[in-house]
Chain A
Amino acid sequence: MNKPFVVPVKLDSICQPPSSMVLLVDRAFRALARLGVIVILVLLAALVFEIGGKAIPGIQKYGLDFITGNVWDVNQHKFGILPAIWGTLYSALIALLIGGFFGISMAIFLTQDFLPPRLAAVFRTIVELLAAIPSVVYGLWGIYVVIPAIRPLTDWLHHSFGWIPFFGTTLSGPGLLPAALVLAIMILPTIAAVSQDALSAVPLKTKQAAHGMGTTHWEAILQVIVPAASTGIFGALVLGLGRALGETMALAMLIGNSNQISLSLFSPANTLAALLALNFPEAGPNEIEVLMYAALILMLITLSVNIAGSLIMAYAKRGNKK
């Protein structure tokens, strides 16, 4: 494949051609890296194959009704996951709105000279530490801190603005809003970290040029720097959304596990991941196939979100270069 390049040996030079040992290590590393890539691809293919294969009987039996149905009744063999799809998308979108807003704000705050660099580094580390907290701890925190804390507010919203569908029910405990709030905090480190990288990558010249044009600090940030970093920030949001769609443990504890489609933020709901986690432990053969089908749908949703994100980013990059 690659011919080791040959350099004529000059005895008076301090340079030496790579020894055969170095070349060997080089080649071995390359092979290892290639193997790693192949293993990952094979693993992914095996996963899709395994889940898809086990889902086939379910797909044949229930077809599209599975996606559009809203009854989950093991006794009557009726399975529909529309409420779970709805809950997955609804909770992830709300989490993305909240987490995205705070994550990007935080990235701007930490990269645009609002803080002395050392302090900014400390804050950055603290935000990144959020990513190290286990999901189950977030779940418990949601149950014992978030729910009691937001209940008075939600009661007030319901009794004052109950005619707005978003506030149409009372918050009893676990429900969509507490789940989305905790989810927002969980995706915050991802969004903040990736956005920070994007913002730091904006060349200093661009910033100086903006200031030179006579913009204020905020005008420079909002009209020049953020647009220049928009591709990276968008990528951060897509990554955050992907994480929000697949999050399981905290949501299984907080979403309320209730198979309904409701616009109300205070209603208990369900998500695909929570449905899977709750139903797998004692599922019989009939149920395994529908759960595999549900897993496949979840995978398709996250995959299409990521592909759409990459496509938009690629498109935006091309647009920038023109």
Chain B
Amino acid sequence: MKLRIAILGSILAAAALSAPVSQAQTAKAGDGATLTLRGAGATFPAPLYKKWIAAYRKVEPTTLVEYAPVGSGDGVKRFLADSVDFGASDAAMTDDQIASAKQGTVLVPATAGLIVLAYNLPGLNGPLKLSRDTYVALLMGKIPRWNDARIQATNPGLNLPDREIVVVARQDSSGTTFALTNHLSAVSPQWRDRGPGVGKVVAWPDNAMIVRGNEGVASRIKLSVGSVGYIEYSFARYLGLPTAHLENKEGRFVAPSDVVGETTLAANLNRIPANLRVFIPDPDGAESYPIISFSWLLLKERNADPAKAAALKRFVNWGLSEGQGLSSELGYIRLPANVAELGKAALTRVQ
């Protein structure tokens, strides 16, 4: 909630600064000059997109971009229903979905981020380290309390409290949930075969608190002592939530950060398919953080309004170049140069 207010505040501030000039210009140029591009989808990259939109107003004052963070599932739905100019999803789109898009689909990776387990344990004397078995069990609701022997085992010196563990999870259809469960299924056969499995919506433990959006999970963790939940790293960083160090494929505990994110991406991008849909369920590399995801913009190949298509291409192109510079200050991962180039190349298919 705070995050949303702050984001809103910054947008309003940016708008207030740029509005007098741009509105005066557009008023002179006439009504047809201002284009509004409407997008909706993932909440995971929403803070970055909002920042892009605010910065882009100075670059091209006649183009207004609006983005509604409604969750990846709803983003894809609206994109397929053709009710937005662009969609956004951290689960990309399935082959069936791509096939069913009448206007054709171009997937453009716009940013990437780490999914962290943020927790609220006041007075804890150090960062929490969670082994692979532990965090799978924890998210399945099989560890009742924080001072459980399984958690204490990897955190010998930590004063873990005698409190209930409350998992905070997503209620809406979410790409963040998809990326997390995709990872958990890759590392735990139990999660994959006898547990919740992979999906944008999965069944959580009975006592889990179910809330909407990355910002909802983040603010719920912030106000619930003893809770733990999964969010994109930038949300945890913005609210100052501590994040667990997770055990990676090589058995090392890695703390999430934008630098670690770049290292992780660099170590894992050997082959990128033509549709630019890359999932990395369990990254390789000793320094890699285990849960990472790209976030895609969904664009239509054939747009009804050529002026809008051109403006959208300019905006996305800007995001893939200058926009990337805004990533790390928020906690997102800068796209590797080759991925950004592939994205720009894919943009040419948008007509």
Contact = CB atoms under 8 A, between A and B. Distances in A.
A200 interface: no
Contacts of A74: 201
A71 B172 contact: no
Contacts of B290: none
Interface residues of B, number: 29
A230 interface: no
Q: Which of B164, B173, B209, B223 neighbours the largest number of chain A CB atoms within 10 Å of its CB? A: B209
Contacts of A170: 163-164, 225-226
B192 interface: no
Contact of A174 (B173, B212, B220): B220
Nearest to B200: A75
A260 B207 CA distance: 6
B209 A174 contact: yes
Interface stretch (A7-15, A34-42, A251-259): A251-259
A143 B1 CA distance: 11
Contacts of A159: 162
A88 interface: no
Contacts of A151: 225
A45 B225 CA distance: 46
B171 interface: yes
Contacts of A147: 223
A279 interface: yes
Contact of A259 (B199, B210, B224): B210
A260 B203 CA distance: 13
Q: Which of B70, B71, B171 neighbours the largest number of chain A CB atoms within 10 Å of its CB? A: B171
Interface in B112-151: none
A147 B225 CA distance: 10
A268 to B, nearest CB: 5
A60 B224 CA distance: 39
B202 interface: yes
Contacts, number: 72
B207 A278 contact: no
Nearest to B224: A173
A172 B164 contact: yes
Contact of A257 (B73, B162, B163, B210): B210
Contacts of A73: 203
A137 to B, nearest CB: 13
Nearest to B222: A173
A174 B73 contact: no
Interface in A229-273: 256-260, 262, 267-268
B202 A257 contact: no
Nearest to A140: B1
Nearest to A159: B162
Interface in A264-305: 267-268, 278-279, 281-282
B164 A258 contact: no
Contact of B171 (A169, A173, A257): A257
B14 interface: no
Nearest to B219: A143
A171 B206 CA distance: 16
Interface of B: 70-71, 73-74, 77, 162-164, 166, 171-173, 199, 201-203, 206-212, 220, 223-227
**Closest A-B pairs by Cβ, 6 of them:** A173-B224, A260-B206, A172-B224, A172-B166, A172-B226, A282-B74
